[in-house]
Structure 1
Amino acid sequence: MPRETPPPIRYVRVYRTSGRTVVELHGAIDIAAALHLTPELDAVTDGPNSSVVIDLTPVEFMDCSGLRLLCRARLRVEEGEGQLTLVCPQPMIRKMLRITDLSRLFTLAAGLDEALGRHASAS
């Protein structure tokens, strides 16, 4: 009997609030997820003056594919002279960013309110 293909998993939710686009990532961000997420993140980070928050709060696991995805988003936002903030409350993901020295390249926030508040007070 042929196995039925499971429905695609939603790894991302995108919405606008406080003048920013929030990209909320979910689950395990590995090579399989990155294949689905790249077009979604490219659409959000396309264009000038993008103001993007990537919320990693619901992320359970992230490997180097996830880090590459974040770096790609950061580069695209910077090329468009925009602003990118990562919401990253998980100690293990923060540790990965610190060990790889990527923490110095990203604006990190412990929660979404902090990320949105930081932007509002900077305006």
Structure 2
Amino acid sequence: MKPLIRLFFRTLRAVLGPFLLLGNWLTRPKGIVRTPAEQQAVDARTRNLVLYHFPTCPFCLKTRRVIRRLSLGIELRNARSDATHRAALIAGGGKPQVPCLLITGDDGQQTWLYESDAINAWLNREFGAA
């Protein structure tokens, strides 16, 4: 019975995924416009951020929309199609759940932030318009 359930959900994802991506592309938000100096400062702060995601995950889409709206240059790592990224996510964060934001501090300490709402709140707090 489990293989049938897995097959059903894989098929559902395969059918709905392209529609999710198209809808996201058609309704993508405009980014914040900053002065070049401000954007350069934001880019420097985002160099230590990595988002592990699945391309068609609705929660990942939600987080990527916030990243686009805030004009952030965060590295995106696809944990679905790249086994190396998936293994790094499990090894560092402890579970294969996405979205997951890896925050590396200046001292090299890593913080793994899960849940789209928590990630979006953190991004808005750190990079949102004052």
Normalized per residue, the structure richer in strand is 1
Confirm or deny a common fold (TM above 0.5): no
Greater CA radius of gyration, 1 or 2?
Answer: 2
TM, length-normalised to structure 2: 0.30
